[in-house]
Amino acid sequence: MEKKLVIAGFGGQGVMLAGELLAEAAKDEGKFVTFLPSYGPEMRGGTANCDVIVSDKPIASPVIAHPQAAIIMNLPSLDKFEPLMEKDGLLVLNKTLIPREVKRTDVRVLQIDAQTVARELGNEKATNMILLGAYAEVEKPVKLESLKNALKHFLTGKKEALIPLNEKALEKGAEIAREFLGGK
């Protein structure tokens, strides 16, 4: 098993947190994992993306040229990563901010109105967790439970109160993904 995921969006959308959470969960499961962030030069509001590889063997290159899966949180990121996707790769899209359809016909697409769903759950900032939950349900790099358990490493102090919301968002994403898989 080797899962190569790119997460991409604007800075501030929780791209890095989603990637680090997956990496932490994979580490907790005793898997090999690399997390490689890439930022623009801006401190705020620029583009951000990260490469996460989860594997049961040692990982050679941490750089992903052709993602097997991508969580895409905004339109510029879709423009950038769509052409790079592996054949049959999975695109998990934040439909709320992506007004266009995917052009490629040789990839799997899971569109989620994630920001709206997150708002309904109580906080738009949980958009990243909805998308991550959905991705994890389809590709199964780690168990959903491991992702939920790993939240405590990142949401500490005052942010601890946000753990239940983020757990719910992960579950909600997984639920949407199950419908997607069932509907296929």
Partner 1 sequence: MGEKVLMKGAEAIAEAAIRAGCMAFFGYPITPQNETPEYFSRRMPELGRVFLQAESEVAAINMVYGAACTGTRVITTSSSPGISLMQEGFSYIANSNVGCVVVNAMRGGPGLGDIAPAQADYFQATKGGGHGDYHSIVLAPHTIQETVDLMYDAFDLADKYRIMVVMLVDGLMGQMMEPVEFKEWVDVKKLKTPEWATVGQGDRDHRNIITSLEILPDGLEKMNLALQAKYKKIKENEVRLEEYKMDDAEYALTAFGTVARIAKTVVEMARADGIKLGLIRPITVWPFPEKEINKRADQVKFFFDVEMNEGQMLEDVKLAVNGKKPVHYYGRLGGVVPTAEEIYGEFKKLVGGK
Where on the chain is the footprint of partner 1 (CB under 8 A)?
20, 23-24, 27, 32-37, 41, 60-63, 65-66
- For residue 147, the minimal CB distance to partner 1 (Å) is 14
Nearer residue to partner 1 within complex by CB, 60 or 181? 60
- For residue 36, the minimal CB distance to partner 1 (Å) is 4
Query: What is the 3 state secondary structure string of the chain?
Result: CEEEEEEEEECCCCHHHHHHHHHHHHHHCCCEEEEEEEECCCCCCCEEEEEEEEECCCCCCCCCCCCCEEEECCHHHHHHHHHHCCCCCEEEEEHHHCCCCCCCCCCEEEEECHHHHHHHHCCHHHHHHHHHHHHHHHHCCCCHHHHHHHHHHHCCHHHHHHHHHHHHHHHHHHHHHHHHHHHC
- For residue 183, the minimal CB distance to partner 1 (Å) is 34
Nearer residue to partner 1 within complex by CB, 89 or 114? 89
- For residue 26, the minimal CB distance to partner 1 (Å) is 8
Nearer residue to partner 1 within complex by CB, 38 or 111? 38
Nearer residue to partner 1 within complex by CB, 61 or 156? 61
